[in-house]
């Protein structure tokens, strides 16, 4: 009899520990979702729309991007003069030409207050079709909403924090979803029933597929962030893994100044790019001073074709070539990740995959909110009840590891613990009121 009792106790202890862990993780999942789900919905909608930036801009700006072919094109210098006449005191930042008949030339200009604008020019008669500030374009506004909530640097922190906690939400969600007493056929069946049961099943099923598609998007977007991305950039500089590209800054090689010699024409720079095998369209930047050099790159969507040239402004000599294939491994991985994030890495399949990820993000946000709203007690958040005991050593190690990898999330945990100790417990906020259904 004593042996039977001891045996039963030994078997019950692992079950109790498993149940306690489940409840703790469910509470983490719930609290993360309170902050994350509105961002998941917003980022899924804005990101899904931004995937179609070329198609949307082609529709909105059709009359600016397309012109009637009228014989020979005017020189880029003539087109530039027309832009500067239409926008006095502006500085030319870049010139983008597609080398395709019937397409306009796009000049990016900057005024004295550093405000940027785009000027579309008919290359056949040098007519300036339209000038519009960059910040007022629809897709630029959408990009700012997606990346910084239209709040500048402070907004990027909220988005980064949401992205990091979304990773936690998916990890904990997968743990909660994992079949324990159900078959794999049951967990993958379509939602049934109605009300909260249907919403919960929809949330569980869509969450599994969403985690597979959205986690890579979150990881590929981290290099763009301020804290995580800034730390990665620092590490890259210290380890020689920074991108050699001069697209976003850097010091280009200088031209050899020849007294009395004028700079080469812009078309000669274009011809050099063609001879060097760069793929159109081309983005060209002018020398900033008498010692500067021309910079030109392929603006192809294919990362492996985005090579750059530095050309002496007087002699036309090729000073430097920067090939994407020669990037350090980390810089190359970051760039490829950006291409994947934007749905450009492997054509329509990448685009379709990211669109599906956006749709699933919308579904998990809406279904998660609906399931919570129906379940929550009146006048309460309905925070899941978790055992009042210290975390296991394994959980502590996991939290520390996640905090080191995701520093902004780690900082938010410290802030939350402090606020909970000083304020939330006294006010009764975020306290457990409902016992969880461990078969969830």
- Chain-centre distance for alpha carbon 57: 20
Count other C-beta atoms under 10 Å from residue 285's C-beta.
19
Mean pLDDT computed over 254-272: 93
Identify the CA nearest to 29 among candidates 172, 219, 235.
172
Selection from 130, 163, 16, 7 nearest residue 64 by Cα: 130
Q: Please state, in angstroms and rounded to a whole number, the distance separating the CA atoms of residues 129 and 161.
A: 42
| DSSP sequence for 296-327 | EEE--S-GGG--EEEEETTT--EEEEE-GGGS
The C-alpha atoms of residue 239 and residue 156 are separated, in whole angstroms, by 26
The pLDDT value recorded for residue 435 is: 44
pLDDT level of residue 9 (50, 70, 90 thresholds) = very low
Class of domain 244-326: alpha beta
Q: What is the DSSP string of 115-181?
A: -EEEEEE-TTT--EEEEEEGGGSHHHHHHHHHHHTTSTHHHHHHHHHHHHHHHHHHHHHHHHHS-SS
Task: Name 381's Cβ contacts closer than 8 Å, sequence gap at least 6.
Answer: 34, 430, 433
Q: Residue 121 and residue 115: Cα distance in Å, rounded?
A: 19
DSSP letters along 419-432, please? HIIIIIHHHTTT-E
pLDDT at 432: 55
What is residue 391's DSSP assignment?
P
For residues 152 and 180, what is the distance between their CA atoms, to the nearest angstrom?
A: 45
Q: List phi, psi (to 5°) of 92.
A: -80, 120
pLDDT of residue 48: 97
Q: How many residues does the chain have?
A: 440
For residues 170 and 168, what is the distance between their CA atoms, to the nearest angstrom?
5
Confidence of residue 332 (pLDDT cuts 50, 70, 90): very high
Write down the architecture of domain 69-142 according to CATH.
Answer: Roll (3.10)
Q: Residues of CATH 3.10.450 domain(s) within the chain?
A: 69-142, 244-326
Q: Which strand (E) or helix (H) includes residue 11? A: helix 2-50
Query: When comparing pLDDT for 26 and 388, which is higher?
Result: 26
Percent of the chain past pLDDT 90, that is, above it, reads 65
Other beta carbons within 10 Å of 195: 10
pLDDT of residue 216 exceeding 70: yes
Condensed to tens digits (0 to 9), the pLDDT of residues 156-200 reads 999 999 999 999 899 889 988 888 777 777 778 888 888 888 999
Instruction: Please calculate the CA angle 333-251-294 and round it to the nearest 5 degrees.
Output: 95
Top-ranked range on mean pLDDT: pick from 128-142, 190-204, 368-382: 128-142
CA–chain centroid gap for 345, Å, is: 14
The pLDDT confidence band at residue 205, using thresholds 50, 70 and 90, is very high
C-alpha–C-alpha distance, residues 279 and 118, integer Å: 22
Strand-pair category, 432-434 with 383-384: parallel
- Angstrom distance (rounded) from CA 365 to CA 357: 12
How does residue 22 score in pLDDT terms, banded at 50, 70 and 90? confident
Compute φ and ψ for 193, nearest 5 degrees: 80, -155
* CB 72, CB 46: distance < 8 Å: no
Residue with token string 């492997």: 346
d(CA 120, CA 126) in angstroms, rounded, equals 10
Weakest-pLDDT range from 59-68, 401-410, 424-433: 424-433
Per mean pLDDT, which of 199-208, 356-365, 372-381 is the most reliable? Answer: 356-365
Separation between Cα atoms, residue 314 and residue 289, nearest integer Å: 12
């Amino acid at each position: 009899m004593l042996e039977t009792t001891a045996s039963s106790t030994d078997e019950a202890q692992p079950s109790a520990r498993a149940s306690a862990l489940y409840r703790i993780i469910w509470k983490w999942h719930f609290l993360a979702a309170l902050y994350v789900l509105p961002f998941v919905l917003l980022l899924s909608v804005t990101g899904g729309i931004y995937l179609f930036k070329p198609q949307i801009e082609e529709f909105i700006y059709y009359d600016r991007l397309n012109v009637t072919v009228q014989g020979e094109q005017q020189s880029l210098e003539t087109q530039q003069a027309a832009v500067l006449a239409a926008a006095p005191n502006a500085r030319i930042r870049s010139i983008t030409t597609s080398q395709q008949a019937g397409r306009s030339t796009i000049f990016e200009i900057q005024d004295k207050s550093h405000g940027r604008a785009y000027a579309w020019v008919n290359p056949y008669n040098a007519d300036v079709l339209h000038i519009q500030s960059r910040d007022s374009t629809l897709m630029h506004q959408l990009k700012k909403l997606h990346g910084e909530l239209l709040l500048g640097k402070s907004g990027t922190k909220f988005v980064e924090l949401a992205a990091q906690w979304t990773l936690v939400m998916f990890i904990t969600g997968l743990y909660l979803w994992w079949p324990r007493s159900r078959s794999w056929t049951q967990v993958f069946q379509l939602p049934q029933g109605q009300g909260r049961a249907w919403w919960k099943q929809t949330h569980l099923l869509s969450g599994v597929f969403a985690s597979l598609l959205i986690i890579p998007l979150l990881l590929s977007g981290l290099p763009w962030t301020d804290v995580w991305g800034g730390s990665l950039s620092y590490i890259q500089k210290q380890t020689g893994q920074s991108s050699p590209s001069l697209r976003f800054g850097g010091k280009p090689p200088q031209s050899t100044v020849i007294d009395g010699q004028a700079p080469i024409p812009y078309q000669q720079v274009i011809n050099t790019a063609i001879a060097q095998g760069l793929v159109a369209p081309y983005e060209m930047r002018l020398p900033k001073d008498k010692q500067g050099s021309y910079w030109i790159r392929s603006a192809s969507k294919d990362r492996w074709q985005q090579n750059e040239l530095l050309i002496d402004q007087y002699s036309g000599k090729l000073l430097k070539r920067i090939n994407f294939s020669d990037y350090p491994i980390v810089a190359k991985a970051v760039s490829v990740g950006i291409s994947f994030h934007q749905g450009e890495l492997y054509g329509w399949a990448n685009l379709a995959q990211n669109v599906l990820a956006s749709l699933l993000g919308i579904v998990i946000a809406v279904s998660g909110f609906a399931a919570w709203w129906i379940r929550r007690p009146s006048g309460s958040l309905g925070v899941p009840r978790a055992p009042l005991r210290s975390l296991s050593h394994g959980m502590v190690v996991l939290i520390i590891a996640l905090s080191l990898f995701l520093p902004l999330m780690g900082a938010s945990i410290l802030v939350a613990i402090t606020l909970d100790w000083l304020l939330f417990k006294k006010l009764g906020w975020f306290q457990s009121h409902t016992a969880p259904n461990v078969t969830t």
